[in-house]
Structure 1
Amino acid sequence: MALFDLPLDELRTHRSESTEPEDFEAFWDKTLEEAREHELDARFEPVDTGLSTVRVYDVTFAGFDGHPVKGWLRLPAGATDPLPVVVEFIGYGGGRGLPHENLLWASTGRAHFVMDTRGQGSAWGAGGGTADPVGAAPAYPGFMTRGIDAPENYYYRRVYTDAVRAVEAARSHPLTDAARTVVLGASQGGGISLAVGGLVPDLIAVAPDVPFLCDFPRATVLTDRHPYREIGLFLKTHRGRSAEVRRTLSYFDGVHFAARGRAPALFSAALEDQTCPPSTVFAAFNAWAHEDKTIEVYDFNDHEGGGPFHEAEKVRWLRSYT
């Protein structure tokens, strides 16, 4: 697919038409307050992986409504002092995988906390282990329309809350330094990291790669690729509910969280990306509130974005912060 979105010079000034709800902050303050009524109860069980350079812990903590959420904590073997911690969120449909996977960040000398995404983990990778015990109104297959009838019921209210609690769980371990917490992820993981970047005020850095869940008013009409297309197919059947759906999505748009971003940020965008169109990524980047922000652009890439090239860029970039 050749370039299909705005030219790069227009992307650099593009702003979303998403309207922030008047009670956006009150909604999220109440949501997190309710979640914190449950004890975090973060548990770290050692896993025998056979690895000699990395220690792995099987993590369970209380997320939205106290529901148990799984994760992995990976530490460099031999660490005795608190380390900078990278909290990572996973792409759409994936799970936390197996304990011996994903060793990059622990290999840089940092603690690495990976959050499982509730209800996901069966579309690619090596699986997940976190249920989503909440029922919902009729939805299109996938996760994008689960509970889309109201913000209080929407699936990503639970996921974003889990993610904030994941940061709290990661910081609760004695070998992590809460003052040096980074959040990152690609695609859905990038969108979740934007939400956390707006909800957690004292992060040291945020790195969303080709982030999903941004600029919903444009994304849902610009691309016909899943997962955004799930929303259009839901509305194709449920005619006349567009305004209701737009209202729900406005509480979860990465653009509004970006406007509250208080940490340095490294974004990435791919100009041939039909899954997360570049204009939707730039809408979040241009809204990011902290002045220390950079976006890497991959001219001829689709949703794979910078891949391992961008991983190397993140490693270099984070040296300035952790």
Structure 2
Amino acid sequence: MALFDLPLDELHRYRSQSGEPEDFDQFWAKTLAEARSHDLDARFEPVTDTGLSTVDVFDVTFAGYGGHPVKGWFILPAGTVEPLPVVVQFIGYGGGRGLPHTHLLWPAAGFAHFVMDTRGQGSGWGGGDTPDPVGSGPAYPGFMTRGIDDPASYYYRRVFTDAVRAVEAARSHESVDATRTAVVGSSQGGGIAIAVGGLVPGLAAVAPDVPFLCDFPRATTITDRDPYREIGGYLRTHRGRDAAVYRTLAYFDGVHFASRIRSPALFSAALEDETCPPSTVFAAYNACPADDKQIEVYTFNDHEGGGPFQDAVKLRWLPQRLAAG
């Protein structure tokens, strides 16, 4: 696959044309206030039959958007005594929290690890345990167009709210030092991490890899790969709804959340990525005003991005941001 997007020097200068809604902050303040009207009710149930001896695993349930129960895993290095930094992870599109033994990287590095299940997903891979009890109008198959005619009903309003509450649940555990919280994720998980980075103050680090859900006006017209193509498929049938759809998407565009990130940030992009085109990733990165930010670029990779090489970068980068003050 050849490089198909802007040259690297232009990527570093690229700015999105996504327009920010005037009531963006009010919309999200109201959304989160409504969610916080429900008791967080974070429950951590020990799991003893994992076959794992170097970690302690907890099956988590907490109240997300609308007070709906959301599942997760909480994994600690075995025998943890003092409060630890916590890495909160969000999952890629179509996946669920899976099984605990697939989430050992961050506990092996000495951190507490909280993995949020994504509501309604987890049947494409990974296995999920969190339903989405909210319906929507007609939608194209997938999740991208569920409730897309109105920001109030859009699917990612619920997901991003769940993610903010996941951070609050992770911080509520006695084994966590809440002042040392990082959010991470790849693809959809990276897009969710960016949203949380813009909505939750005081994070120690934000690390999105090849993030999805950024720069919708460009993403939906530069690539014909799913999941972005779901939006084109919807508009192909629902002719004339373009303006309403892009108005909704503006409330969920990673570019606007990134512009509110002040925490240290580590992005990554792949220049042959046709799923999350590099210009859409750079749109979010370039919008981020954090003083401590960097982006790793993988020239000859598609949506797998840096994979384990990017994990190695994060294993060097995160401990410096999560070190005790």
Partner of residue 62, structure 1:
63
Work out whether 1:258 is the aligned partner of 2:258: yes
Amino acid of the structure 2 residue aligned with 1:258: A
Secondary structure, counterpart of 1:4 in structure 2:
coil
Partner of residue 104, structure 1:
105
Partner of residue 123, structure 2:
122
Partner of residue 92, structure 2:
91
Unaligned 5+ runs, structure 1 = none
Amino acid of the structure 2 residue aligned with 1:31: T
Superposed CA offset, 1:178-213 (max 9, x none): 000000000000000000000001100000000000
Secondary structure, counterpart of 2:321 in structure 1:
coil
Partner of residue 280, structure 2:
280
- TM-score under structure 1 length normalisation: 0.99
Looking at structure 2, the residues matched to 13 and 21 of structure 1 have their Cα atoms a distance apart, in angstroms, of 23
Secondary structure, counterpart of 1:59 in structure 2:
strand
Amino acid of the structure 2 residue aligned with 1:143: F
Superposed CA offset, 1:266-316 (max 9, x none): 000000000000000000000012111000000000000000000010000
Q: For 1:184-263, what aligned pairs fall within 5 Å after superposition?
A: 184-263=184-263
Work out whether 1:15 is the aligned partner of 2:15: yes
Looking at structure 2, the residues matched to 262 and 120 of structure 1 have their Cα atoms a distance apart, in angstroms, of 30
**Cα offset for 1:50?**
2.0
Partner of residue 54, structure 2:
53
**Cα offset for 1:105?**
0.2
Amino acid of the structure 2 residue aligned with 1:208: P
Looking at structure 1, the residues matched to 289 and 167 of structure 2 have their Cα atoms a distance apart, in angstroms, of 21
**Cα offset for 1:251?**
0.1
Stretches of 4+ aligned residues off by more than 4 angstroms: none
**Cα offset for 1:5?**
0.2
Partner of residue 81, structure 2:
80
Partner of residue 173, structure 1:
173
Secondary structure, counterpart of 2:244 in structure 1:
helix
Secondary structure, counterpart of 2:260 in structure 1:
coil
Looking at structure 2, the residues matched to 60 and 280 of structure 1 have their Cα atoms a distance apart, in angstroms, of 33
Looking at structure 2, the residues matched to 195 and 119 of structure 1 have their Cα atoms a distance apart, in angstroms, of 19
Secondary structure, counterpart of 1:320 in structure 2:
helix
**Cα offset for 1:99?**
1.9
Amino acid of the structure 2 residue aligned with 1:59: V
May I ask how many residue pairs the two structures share in their alignment?
A: 321
Superposed CA offset, 1:25-61 (max 9, x none): 0000000000000000000000011211000000000
Looking at structure 2, the residues matched to 278 and 77 of structure 1 have their Cα atoms a distance apart, in angstroms, of 39
Secondary structure, counterpart of 2:92 in structure 1:
coil
Unaligned 5+ runs, structure 2 = none
Amino acid of the structure 2 residue aligned with 1:262: R
Looking at structure 2, the residues matched to 292 and 52 of structure 1 have their Cα atoms a distance apart, in angstroms, of 37
Identity %: 76
Superposed CA offset, 1:90-138 (max 9, x none): 000000001222100000110000000000000012x000000001000
Partner of residue 113, structure 1:
114
Looking at structure 2, the residues matched to 10 and 100 of structure 1 have their Cα atoms a distance apart, in angstroms, of 41
Looking at structure 2, the residues matched to 289 and 137 of structure 1 have their Cα atoms a distance apart, in angstroms, of 37
Superposed CA offset, 1:195-244 (max 9, x none): 00000011000000000000000000000000000000000000000000
